């Protein structure tokens, strides 16, 4: 994968260790693997980030950071991918998770929910939809994590194969030029 491109946007390791929200992880942030760009670290980071994207809980970035540190995968990529579920995409993502959860639980989804701008309405509705949405989020997040891991590993391998073929071709051309000069 294009390491130089990704490295331009990654923060310095010292900045990550000194970040005010990440200080609670203490010495765990001293692990150099948290900023490595290799196939295992990046594919794991995609898995972590996409899993927490679909799980409907508050503070997804903190859980993604904790998971990345615990699994020793790329921390910035894991945290950045959580922003797929932003205020614009969250309703669609979580509605999809709710539908999947209801399907897994074997219940028909509720139709025609009337919105009311009150705290009482919010708590009563969240009380009925949180469990199917959580189940659906965990299942969809797990599938997205698995799929992303396989795709990133495959793309990384494909990039490496192409790079080695180009290097072999360049070496062959240099050898041909040397033979031509010697003759």
* 20 band by pLDDT with thresholds 50, 70 and 90: low
Burial code (b: 16+ CB inside 10 Å, e: under 16) for 33-65 equals bbbebebbbbbbbbbbbbbbbbbbeeebbbbbb
Q: What is the DSSP letter of 22?
A: T
- Strand ranges in the chain using DSSP code E only, listed in sequence order: none
- Supply 155's token pair: 């793309």
Q: Rounded to two decimals, what is the model's pTM? A: 0.75
Give ∠ CA 86-49-130 in degrees, rounded to 5.
60
Please state, in angstroms and as integers, the Cα–Cα distance from residue 115 to each residue in 122, 124, 147, following that order: 9, 11, 35
What integer pLDDT is reported at residue 125 of this predicted model?
75
Residues 87-109 pLDDT 10s: 888 888 988 998 899 999 998 87
- Give the domain range for residue 43: 3-182
Please state the domain count of the chain: 1
* pLDDT, average across residues 11-37: 68
Do the Cβ atoms of 25 and 69 come closer than 8 Å?
yes
Lowest mean pLDDT among 111-120, 128-137, 157-166: 111-120
User: Distance between CA 135 and CA 107 in Å, rounded?
Assistant: 13
Please state, in angstroms and as integers, the Cα–Cα distance from residue 34 to each residue in 37, 40, 129, 147, following that order: 9, 11, 36, 22
Residues 137-176 pLDDT 10s: 999 999 999 999 999 999 999 999 999 999 999 999 898 8
- Supply 14's token pair: 């010292």
- Supply 59's token pair: 């503070």
- Supply 106's token pair: 């074997």
């Amino acid at each position: 994968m294009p390491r130089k491109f990704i490295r331009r946007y990654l923060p310095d390791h010292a900045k990550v260790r000194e970040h005010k929200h990440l200080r609670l992880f203490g010495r765990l942030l001293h692990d150099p693997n948290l900023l490595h760009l290799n196939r295992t670290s990046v594919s794991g980071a995609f898995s972590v980030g996409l899993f927490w994207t679909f799980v409907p809980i508050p503070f997804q970035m903190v859980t993604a950071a904790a998971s990345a540190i615990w699994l020793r995968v790329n921390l910035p990529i894991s945290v950045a991918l959580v922003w797929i579920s932003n205020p614009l995409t969250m309703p669609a993502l979580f509605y999809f998770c709710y539908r999947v959860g209801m399907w897994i639980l074997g219940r028909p989804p509720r139709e025609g929910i009337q919105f009311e701008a009150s705290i009482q309405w919010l708590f009563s509705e969240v009380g009925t939809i949180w469990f199917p949405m959580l189940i659906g989020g965990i299942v969809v997040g797990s599938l997205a994590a698995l799929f992303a891991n396989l795709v990133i590993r495959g793309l990384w391998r494909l990039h490496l194969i192409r790079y080695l073929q180009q290097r072999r071709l360049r070496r062959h051309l240099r050898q041909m030029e040397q033979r031509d000069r010697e003759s």
